[in-house]
Amino acid sequence: MRISELARLSGLSLHRIRRYADAGLLIAERAHGAYREFDAQAVRDARFIVMGRDIGFSLPELAELLPRYRARTLTINEMVERLQGRIVAVDALIAEQQTLRARLVEHIHWFEHRRAQPRAPEPTTPFQRAPKRRPRP
């Protein structure tokens, strides 16, 4: 099948299909006129990539998993383990963002406290200013 058919069946854009094929994630044969020709396995691979990207797997991680997915040796237990690893990573990111949020709230409170305090008026004439101190020798 041509790239446009793979795009229609997989939901990927032509640009992404080309990118994934150039990276070796999708396998294509070159037909006459140098057109890429994809087989039915490419549709399954593309859907696997879409699912993997949707849940946060990187392209290198997917490149590692795809050969075993194609060979049907990637087990459910391994996928569950990988997904649990993703959950751990997401939880770490959430904790990091919550810490950042708490710091932002602290800064807001500090600024609001400063805004609420009355400030002494600035002196308007040189005679009202405090004398400058000379540095000691």
What proportion of the chain, given as a percentage, has pLDDT over 90? Answer: 74
CATH code of the domain made up of 1-74: 1.10.1660.10
Stronger pLDDT, 61 or 137, i.e. the higher one? 61
Domain boundaries, the chain: 1-74, 75-115
Q: What is the mean pLDDT of residues 103-131?
A: 77
Predicted local confidence at residue 44, as pLDDT = 95
Tell me the CA distances in angstroms from 7 to 10, 27, 32, 51, 76, one per residue in order: 5, 14, 20, 15, 27
pTM here is 0.70
Give residue 121's pLDDT band: very low, low, confident or very high (50, 70, 90).
low
Which amino acid makes up residue 78?
Answer: E
pLDDT confidence bin for 120, thresholds 50/70/90: low
**Residue 24 token pair:** 């070796």
Mean pLDDT confidence for 117-132: 64
61-82 pLDDT, tens per residue? 999 999 999 999 999 999 999 9
Residue in 22, 66, 31, 72 with CA at minimum distance from that of residue 46:
66
